Amino acid sequence: MKISVDSPSKTIDLALTLSCGQVFRWLQYGHSWVGTLGNTLIKIRQRKGYLEVQPSNPILRSTISDYLRLDDDLESIISELSGDTFFRQVAYEVRGLRILRQDPWECLISYICSRNSRISMIRRVLNNMCRRFGEKVTLGQYTNYTFPGPEEILNAKPSELIGCGLRYGRRQAEEIKNAAELVHKGILDFNVLKKIPYPEAKIELTSLCRGVGSKVADCVLLFSLEKLEAFPIDVWVARAMVNLYHDYLDKRLVKRVRSNHRLSNADYERLSMFARDRFGRYAGYAQEYLYHWIRTKNC
């Protein structure tokens, strides 16, 4: 299957998009990327002007283009974001990076597991969970595992989840099972969260789900629930904001971030408000660009 990306509005850098840290389970084999969408293994390769997709079983073209958010007009989003010369440079350096439209359940569990951890660790935990509780899917020489659904997680023993390498052991295992129960019982309904406004959806997520605070909620809202104004702030994004916009921010906040203090709720909200005020409805794209920019700039 071929998907054309041969126009400025459909620009994509597939490798950058799949490896920048918004999603954790894609694997690179040479020029190809292998992952799963639902129960289907997907092998995808970027060619000149189009994407070449090989699914393990029949799949709609729109499943891929929805996942990659090819419906986002990247050219106009970037021009709307590039209000200052600092950010224009950032946007240029990460051109082709798209926000993905992930499955909300997988995204929620992934970011519950991400707390105070690092990307390589998160990858390992999630892959362990999929190997243990997911289903094996193959395409030729390639093997992958589906992400286990709420029912599989509900039936899992906490000790088995802990054995996957959770950062906070039993406590996090309970959080994951709690989320599974909420989804299974229909108390947490992602289709509803997609429709209601960002502030309400965020309150709903943080109040219902144990282990979900401001940062995790913003990640889930941005990466899987259509809230492009969500602006997740981790230490890296805080550093990027402070580097670029220190003149507009509270001096003590700048000092705290620079001296590597943990980000307080108050500082999170302050940075959050500033970001949405500055970047508007596509603040989430700005966040992802800043995140990647500050990390690659320093490494």
Query: What residues have CB less than 8 Å from 182, skipping those under 6 apart?
Result: 188, 208, 209
Strand partners for 32: 29, 45
One residue of 140, 262, 298, 299 binding DNA per CB under 7 A: 262
Q: Candidates 9-17, 38-46, 196-204, 285-293 — which segment interacts with DNA by CB under 7 A? A: 285-293
Could you say whether residue 266 binds DNA (CB under 7 A)?
yes
Q: How far apart are CA 299 and CA 287, in angstroms?
A: 18
Nearer to DNA, 133 or 285 (CB): 285
Per CB under 7 A, does 115 bind DNA? yes
Closer to DNA at the Cβ: 34 or 253? Answer: 253
Contact 231, 284 (CB under 8 A): yes
243 touches DNA by CB under 7 A: no
Q: Are strands 40-47 and 32-37 parallel, antiparallel or unpaired?
A: antiparallel
Site for DNA (CB under 7 A): which residue of 216, 275, 283, 286?
A: 216
Q: What angle do CA 141, 54, 111 make, to 5 degrees?
A: 85
**Window of 28-36, 73-81, 146-154, 168-176 that interacts with DNA by CB under 7 A:** 168-176
Amino acid at 18: L
Cβ-based neighbours of 180, under 8 Å, separated by 6 or more: 150, 151, 153, 154
Per CB under 7 A, the list member of 10, 275, 288, 293 interacting with DNA is: 288
The DSSP call for residue 57 is S
Q: Give 141 or 260: the residue with its C-beta nearer to DNA.
A: 260
215 contributes a contact to DNA by CB under 7 A: yes
Q: What is the arrangement of strands in the sheet containing 27-29, beginning at the earlier edge strand?
A: 2-4, 50-55, 40-47, 32-37, 27-29
- Using CB under 7 A as the binding rule, whether residue 297 contacts DNA is answered as no
Check binding of 276 to DNA (CB under 7 A). no
Minimum CB–partner distance for residue 257 and DNA (Å): 11
When asked if residue 169 is in the footprint of DNA (CB under 7 A), the reply is yes
Q: Which residues bind DNA (CB under 7 A)?
A: 20-22, 111, 114-121, 165-171, 206, 209-217, 219, 232-237, 260, 262, 264-267, 287-288, 291
